[in-house]
Structures are given as structure tokens and as C-alpha cells.
């Protein structure tokens, strides 16, 4: 396939990238304010989920680093499998995160002083970049499956650190807030 065909293949996915990049954050934001128990549903709070989805974030970070090492060592098929696994992990995280927040009350950070500002800085950047990274991941993935590897490499240099930051800060946030879970 030549470069023109690769770009044409990419364009087939552009509408999906735009839709998912908008729908996912909007849905999460909307669901974040929904508590199924308050709406009368007989569901138990899924308070056991935060350490699980924090572990998924940690595993995602590890998989991203191993995938980078794989591609740098020309192990392209392994890289491809690891990146698909990283996407699956991120989707799993998102589903568990929504399940937790629709069944459980949000936990407030109880730290004070400088640590409180550090926590909220990390939380704020994590949230903003978790939204920003969605189209980057989708575009990077589409460029790979479309065979447009030069354009894939170019955007992956931006996507990788963003995605890694979101995964790692997800773990840091959990560690910082975990003493305040009830």
C-alpha cells in the first residue's frame, strides 16, 4: 500500500475517532454524577474496585514501557499485541471506574498543607490528560492498522508519554487517597 492509500484508510476512521473522543469523556462525566443507589436501584457499593483499577493502571504503565522496548528492538508483532492489550486494559479501567463511581460515594482527599496541593495538581493534570489522550491513542492505533508507520511513529512520540503519565498518575492518586476510603 502506498502513502496515499494509507492516508485514505486512516480517513475512514476519523469520524469514529471524533465521536469516541467526545462521547467517552462526556459519558464518564455524566455517569460520575449518577449514583444508582440514590436512584432506587438495589446495588451494593463496589468499594473493592479502587485497588483493582489502580492495579490495572499500573499494569497499563508496565505494558506501555514493555511495548516501547519491544518496538525499539524490532519486535513489531509483540509491540502490536502489547499495545492492543494496553488498550484493553484502559477500557477495563474505564468500565470499573464507572462501576465504582455509579455505586459508591466519592472519597474526599483528607490531606492538608502542601500535600493537598500536590494531590490536586496531580489529580487535575491526570483528569485533563486522560481526556486529551483519547484521540491520541485512537489516531496512533488507526495509523498503525492502516499501515502508515511513519505517521504512526510521529504521533506515538506524543501519545506514549501522555498515556504513560495518565497510567502512572492514576496509581499515584490511588496511593494518595487510599487512606481516606471508608
What average pLDDT is seen over the chain? 93
The model's pTM: 0.91
pLDDT for 10: 79
Q: Three-state DSSP class for 4?
A: helix
pLDDT for 7: 73
Q: Three-state DSSP class for 39?
A: coil
User: What's the number of domains the chain is made of?
Assistant: 1
Q: Phi and psi of 66, rounded to 5°?
A: -65, -40
pLDDT for 4: 73
Q: How confident is the model at residue 33 (pLDDT cuts 50, 70, 90)?
A: confident
d(CA 23, CA 97): 16
Is residue 134 within 8 Å of 19, Cβ to Cβ? no
**Mean pLDDT in residue range 40-66:** 96
| Residue 25 pLDDT greater than 70, yes or no | yes
d(CA 75, CA 84): 15
Q: Which domain holds residue 85?
A: 3-180
What's the grid cell of residue 59?
499494569
Chain segment 14-23, per-residue pLDDT in tens: 999 999 999 9
Amino acid at each position: 500500500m502506498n502513502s496515499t492509500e494509507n492516508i485514505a484508510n486512516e480517513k475512514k476512521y476519523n469520524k469514529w475517532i471524533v465521536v469516541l473522543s467526545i462521547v467517552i469523556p462526556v459519558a464518564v462525566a455524566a455517569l460520575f454524577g449518577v449514583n444508582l443507589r440514590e436512584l432506587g436501584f438495589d446495588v451494593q457499593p463496589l468499594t473493592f474496585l479502587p485497588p483493582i483499577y489502580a492495579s490495572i493502571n499500573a499494569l497499563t504503565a508496565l505494558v506501555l514501557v514493555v511495548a516501547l522496548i519491544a518496538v525499539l528492538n524490532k519486535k513489531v508483532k509483540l509491540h502490536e499485541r502489547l499495545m492492543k492489550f494496553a488498550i484493553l486494559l484502559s477500557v477495563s479501567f474505564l468500565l470499573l471506574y464507572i462501576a465504582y463511581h455509579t455505586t459508591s460515594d466519592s472519597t474526599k482527599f483528607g490531606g492538608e498543607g502542601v500535600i493537598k496541593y500536590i494531590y490536586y495538581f496531580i489529580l487535575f493534570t491526570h483528569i485533563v490528560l486522560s481526556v486529551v489522550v483519547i484521540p491520541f491513542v485512537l489516531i496512533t492505533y488507526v495509523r498503525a492498522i492502516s499501515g502508515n508507520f511513519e505517521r504512526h511513529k510521529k504521533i506515538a512520540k506524543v501519545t506514549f508519554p501522555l498515556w504513560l503519565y495518565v497510567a502512572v498518575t492514576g496509581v499515584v492518586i490511588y496511593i494518595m487517597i487510599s487512606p481516606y476510603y471508608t
